[in-house]
Amino acid sequence: MNYSKTQACNLKPGATVVGKWHRKKYQIVKLLGSGATGSVYLARCIEGEVALKIGVDSMAITSEVNVLKHFSKVQGQVLGPSLLDVDDLVINQGVLPFYVMEYLKGEQLIEFTSKRGEEWIGILMVQLLGDLDRLHRAGWAFGDLKPDNLIVIGPTPRIRWLDVGGTTLLGRSIKEYTEFFDRGYWGMGSRVAEPSYDLFALVMIMINCMYPKRFDKKGDPLQQLKQAIEMKPGLKPYRNIMLKGIQGKYGDAQVMKKDLMDAIQKKSTYYTKPKHKPSTPPRVRRKEQKKPAKSSYLIEILLVTSFLILAYILYLFGQLM
């Protein structure tokens, strides 16, 4: 195949990639996304559909492969996509590295929350915080944390990572970032890889779910973000947590996760707690007994429905412990 190195990240549907060492064949279906280190494609092979990432910088690709290998050993959980193959593509101009990952089928985060409802934002962020905690304890920061690098799979909704190209060892400079999710862009911290960097980005993901078109920095960043949070009723239950996150007051994902879980449970309890009415005089009570029991029946349905929602939320939390 007569590809130039710049064309290698722009493969056409139907093109075939053959590994130099393992001789496995992958037929390109479509482009899934591009970044600083290469392009990711949906491809087909004998085993089925996979995600194939090809780049021009062998050191960057090797670093990502090492991260994926490491993720597979973090507390026995796969944080990113499963790594399936690592090889080289030989072209006339040289050799291009590529690796093959598990193809995760699902919905983009913002698409999912738009369809299912804003109450899912908190639940999915609890899941993400659990994964970030395991990542941070292993000595890494995600770096380029944004909705584009996240997907929600099913049938029980679960958030997963798509691209680990921005992962950076703690203490080093962030190598990839997207302005809206970068605390350096907002003037609210450095670009050093540390847990608080990812936790700032997580808050911005929550904001992005409510403002899908995003917005630019204007005036005082803290006041601008504070106002953006307060203008959306779906974010108000998490207001204090989000403000602590953007101000760098969380240095531990597990602590932020606990606070978020408490906020969700408090919110759920508020909606499921029956409201006590003042006692009614005997005469009025006898009159009410003669009325149809339609209102009490509706209240019972509401309470049962609310209880089931709370039980499901608690079930999801149980899956993360």
Count CA within 13 A, CB hemisphere, residue 271: 16
* Residues 35 and 163: beta-carbon distance below 8 Å: yes
In 3-state terms, what secondary structure has residue 74? helix
309's enclosing H/E stretch is: helix 294-320
Return all residues near 87 (Cβ < 8 A) that are at least 6 apart.
Answer: 19, 20, 21, 22, 24, 97, 98, 99, 100
Quick one: tokens of 285? 């009570």
Residues designated catalytic: 144
Return all residues near 244 (Cβ < 8 A) that are at least 6 apart.
Answer: 250, 256, 259
- CA 113 to CA 122: how far, in whole Å? 10
53 annotated ligand binder: yes
Query: Cis before residue 155, ω within 30 degrees of 0?
Result: yes
Q: Where is the binding site for ATP, in residues?
A: 53
